[in-house]
Structure 1
Amino acid sequence: MNGFVVAILVSMFVVSAITGLARWLNVRGLTGVMPCEFEGVFPEQEYVRSREYLRAGAGLEWAREGFDLLVVAAFAMAGGFGWLDAWVRTLGFGELGSGLVFLGALAAAQGVLGLPFDVYGTFVLEARFGFNATTPEVFILDRIKGAALGAVLGGGLLAAVLWAYGRMGSYAWLGAWAAIAVFTAVLMVVAPVWILPLFNRFSPLEEGSLRRSIEEYAAAKGFSLDGIFVMDGSKRSSKANAFFTGLGKRKRISLYDTLVDKLSTDEVVAVLAHEMGHARLGHIRKGFMLAMLKMGLTLCVLQLFLGASGMQEAFGVGRPSAYVGLALFGLAYQPLALALGVVANWFSRRFEFEADAYAADAPGGGAALASALKSLSVANLSNLTPHALTVWLHYSHPPVLQRIRRLTNSCG
């Protein structure tokens, strides 16, 4: 143990303490008083279950987070990073190959150690509250597909980043930044067509009043659509959602089948009007730019971190490298990640309010979107009264009550 090790471990525990406090305040602030906007909408028994669901989810997150902290601390203090690096170098793959094996081994270990929590969350907690529809076969296939994609796509990007930090000197962070920016932009285009269908089936929305209403609204707003699809989200969960994909003039709408089943035509159109608002108001472009600014700052700090003398040796590493430094940076970066996340979430919540306002002129007006938000909150057992610290730290969307009260003249 020395100053570097202590500083990084303390920073991790501080971040965990802050997020844990927010989680505790969130649970402590649960109230049995039904917000007036949900009277007659949220059955009392379901409202009780929503509070139980939040408590159960918080308990699982505490257990997962505590376990992760203990494992990382034990691994670091036992010299695990140095041991793993020494073993990887015996394979003779060179600096780049060794880096991919080293970081891949850490990612695989993280996935294996987190698997019991994923299994419990899916097949026990989500099932207990009636959400889970995932079969063991689907669960296993999802993990295999995710690991394969991570190895191919993530491995390729990681190789580019490691190459930049190993070969480009003081300009390494700029090279890595450019690689990540291009990769992210390309992924935004190809993911809806090539990657998402690996996990879900997308079927064209059948002809009928819903499709006509969506097409009429899109045409009135000047949106050219590549298609309107229904995704078989019900094969994993009863929760509902919708999303908008595509860049440029051509857009694709995807609706969860559970959303189509739960909402009226006007409500579905209002939800999609909200998503169209993000595109029309430039939120997709702005979000991308903000994400890239955040990434640029992160990579610049990473370069400074890699230049810290004695950092890697403090963790038992005999031969410092970019890949070991990247792994250690993933631990030391957590306070900065939390701070940058707060800023990003603030912008995201602002964008959501703007998109809500845009959707207020859809068929049914703001009342239709408010009604959809209420229905989805009930169906998903959402927390109607999150604590302000939790919202500030973690919420990319404003609390549902705030959104509803802006859309309607409610009793709130």
Structure 2
Amino acid sequence: MAYVRTHRDAVPDAFKDTISLEAHRKAADYTIDKARLANVDRIVGLVILLLFTVGGGIDVVNRFWAGFELSPLVTGIAVILSTMLLINLFELPISLYQTFVIEERYGFNRNTPKQFITDLLLQTGLSLAIGGPLLALILWIMQSVGNYWWLLAWSIVMGFSILMSWAFPTFIAPLFNKFTPLEDETLKKRIETLLDRCGFQSKGIFVMDGSRRSGHGNAYFTGIGDSKRIVFFDTLINSLNHDELEAVLAHELGHFRRKHVLKMLVASALITLTGFALLGWLSGQDWFYSGLGVSSQSNALALLLFMLIAPVFATFLQPIIAYFQRRHEFEADDFAAYYTRPIYLINALVKLYRDNASTLTPDPLYSAFHYSHPPASIRIANLSAKSS
């Protein structure tokens, strides 16, 4: 925050001709406001974590459901789901403030209270409908399979992740947004030509009504196998010209052609496998429960405790993951620069930085730890070198 504030009143030399001082200051203020809220969110999250673990919150929830004398499996499902619902409820004010105060202040919010509540209920319903059976299956495996239950549970979770990657664009995403086939025939023809040059097969090119909730723009491809589709936010379509849109798409295709999705899936699988193996050991340790404020032991309590505390230790993986993500972004930029002119992607990125109020001067140490994308100046310099 201090670094961004210090550089608030001077546009970096590389952007002086394309980003106004007013836009640069807006991006700095937006970044600082989001950082302040993120700090509040961390404190709230810490308090909630301590209350539910060493503070005895999970123990209270567990005793409540144990009083109904249900089967261990049903009790375990109820304890986990009710705890997660309570935590999400406590964190809801942060999300409301982000949407209706910060995003509204900077002109990005298009959401309404009705839409926000509808989305929240739909997300909760889907989580219960999809996550509930998966949770029940994992708890049953923990109870029935033996010492190496974690290996089977990991296999099922990874299979479920791949299934959801296939189902998301076709069945889940349309519940939240409207996806319409790209109608601009000139742009569509250019994109299809690019796809042919890159050897990419897609089930279609769609425009998503992102402006329904936010003024931010983006593009992505999603799905696996026969469900792959290309998606442009309508805000992006309205902001970029055809050359720039083609360059942005080429960048996204670069992630596919350079197998970044597969590499991240493999990394995720290895991390998840390690996590399940660790849980398999921790679930048999008395101190794991007593040290985290739980007076009894069960598979459900072990799983719940691990789900809550694992992100704390996973923080140490963040800079490593971010490093590889930034490498992938450079590789995707290089791919786009090969199949389109680098200047087109540069122009698109500058517009995206400006329209999304992304700071051009992030703190180097903070960005190295947290950012999945290279800082603007470094990324633009890399592309500019390919133009010469």
> So what's the TM-score if we normalise by structure 1?
0.89
Name the counterpart of 1:403.
379
* 1:390 corresponds to 2:363: no
* Aligned-residue offset at 1:209: 1.7
Name the counterpart of 1:168.
145
CA contact (8 A) 1:29 1:387 kept: no
2:278 is paired with a residue whose SS is helix
Name the counterpart of 1:376.
352
1:53-96 per-residue CA deviation (whole Å, 9 max, x = no partner) reads: 11111111111221222233234344222221111112233122
Name the counterpart of 1:62.
39
- Amino-acid identity (%): 35
Letter in 2 for 1:396: S
Segment of structure 1 superposing worse, 365-374 or 234-243: 365-374
Name the counterpart of 1:180.
157
Letter in 2 for 1:397: H
Letter in 1 for 2:357: L
CA contact (8 A) 1:278 1:284 kept: yes
Letter in 2 for 1:99: G
| CA distance in structure 2 between the aligned counterparts of 1:314 and 1:217, rounded to whole angstroms | 57
Matches within 5 A, 1:200-239: 200-239=177-216
Matches within 5 A, 1:131-146: 131-146=108-123
* Aligned-residue offset at 1:28: 5.7
Matches within 5 A, 1:268-347: 268-347=245-324
| CA distance in structure 2 between the aligned counterparts of 1:190 and 1:75, rounded to whole angstroms | 34
* Aligned-residue offset at 1:41: 1.4
Segment of structure 1 superposing worse, 290-299 or 194-203: 290-299
CA contact (8 A) 1:360 1:407 kept: yes
CA contact (8 A) 1:302 1:326 kept: yes
CA contact (8 A) 2:53 2:305 kept: no
CA contact (8 A) 1:274 1:355 kept: yes
* Aligned-residue offset at 1:30: 4.2
* Aligned-residue offset at 1:31: 4.1
Listed as ranges, the gaps of 5+ residues in structure 2 are: none
Match of 1:358 among 335, 348, 356: 335
2:91 is paired with a residue whose SS is helix
> So what's the TM-score if we normalise by structure 2?
0.94
Name the counterpart of 2:244.
267
* Aligned-residue offset at 1:348: 1.5
Post-superposition, which runs of at least 4 consecutive aligned residues in structure 1 deviate over 6 A? Answer: none
Match of 2:130 among 147, 153, 159: 153
| CA distance in structure 2 between the aligned counterparts of 1:135 and 1:92, rounded to whole angstroms | 43
Count of matched residue pairs: 387
Distance 1:322 1:232, change over 3 A: same
Distance 1:114 1:335, change over 3 A: closer
Listed as ranges, the gaps of 5+ residues in structure 1 are: 1-23
Letter in 2 for 1:43: S
Letter in 1 for 2:238: D
* 1:87 corresponds to 2:69: no
Letter in 2 for 1:34: V
Distance 1:45 1:367, change over 3 A: same
1:385 is paired with a residue whose SS is coil
CA contact (8 A) 2:250 2:336 kept: yes
Letter in 2 for 1:384: L
Distance 1:354 1:295, change over 3 A: same
| CA distance in structure 1 between the aligned counterparts of 2:4 and 2:68, rounded to whole angstroms | 49
* Aligned-residue offset at 1:233: 0.1
